[in-house]
Amino acid sequence: MAIEIKAPTFPESVAEGTVATWHKQPGEAVSRDEILVDIETDKVVLEVPAPVDGVLEKILANEGDTVASEQVLALVKEGAVAAAPAAKAEAAPAAASADDAEVVGDKRVAPAARKLAAEKGLDLNNIQGSGKGGMITKEDVMKAGSAPVAKAAAAAPVQVSVAPGERIEKRVPMSRMRQTIAKRLVQAQQTAAMLTTYNEVDMKPVMELRKQYKDLFEKRHNGVRLGFMSFFVKAATEALKRFPDVNASIDGTDIVYHGYQDIGVAVSTERGLMVPVLRDCDSMNLADIEGTIADFGKRGREGKIGIDDLQGGTFTITNGGVFGSLMSTPIINPPQTAILGMHKIQERPMAINGQVVIRPMMYLALSYDHRMIDGKDAVQFLVTIKELLEDPARILLDV
Assess whether 262 carries a catalytic annotation: no
Question: Which of the residues 65, 100, 215, 370 is marked catalytic?
Answer: 370
51: number of Cβ within 10 Å: 16
What is the chain's Cα-based Rg? 26
Nearest 5°: the CA angle 190, 194, 198 is 150
Assess whether 370 carries a catalytic annotation: yes
Nearest of 146, 371, 354, 145 to residue 254 by alpha carbon:
371
Question: Which of the residues 65, 280, 374, 391 is marked catalytic?
Answer: 374
Nearest of 297, 299, 232 to residue 266 by alpha carbon:
297
Residue 98 DSSP class: G
CA distance 356 to 364: 22
Burial class (CB in 10 A: 0-12, 13-18, 19+), 96: buried
* Residue 144: C-alpha distances to residues 114, 129, 213, 323 (Å): 13, 11, 49, 32
Beta-strand runs (E) in 333-399? 338-342, 346-352, 355-369
Residue 42 DSSP class: S
Residues 194/331, Cβ–Cβ less than 8 Å: yes
Q: Following CA atoms 28, 32, 36, 41 in sequence, which dihedral angle do they give, to the nearest 10 degrees?
A: 170
Provide the total of helices (H) and of strands (E) in the chain, helices listed first. Answer: 11, 21
> Active-site residue numbers?
370, 374
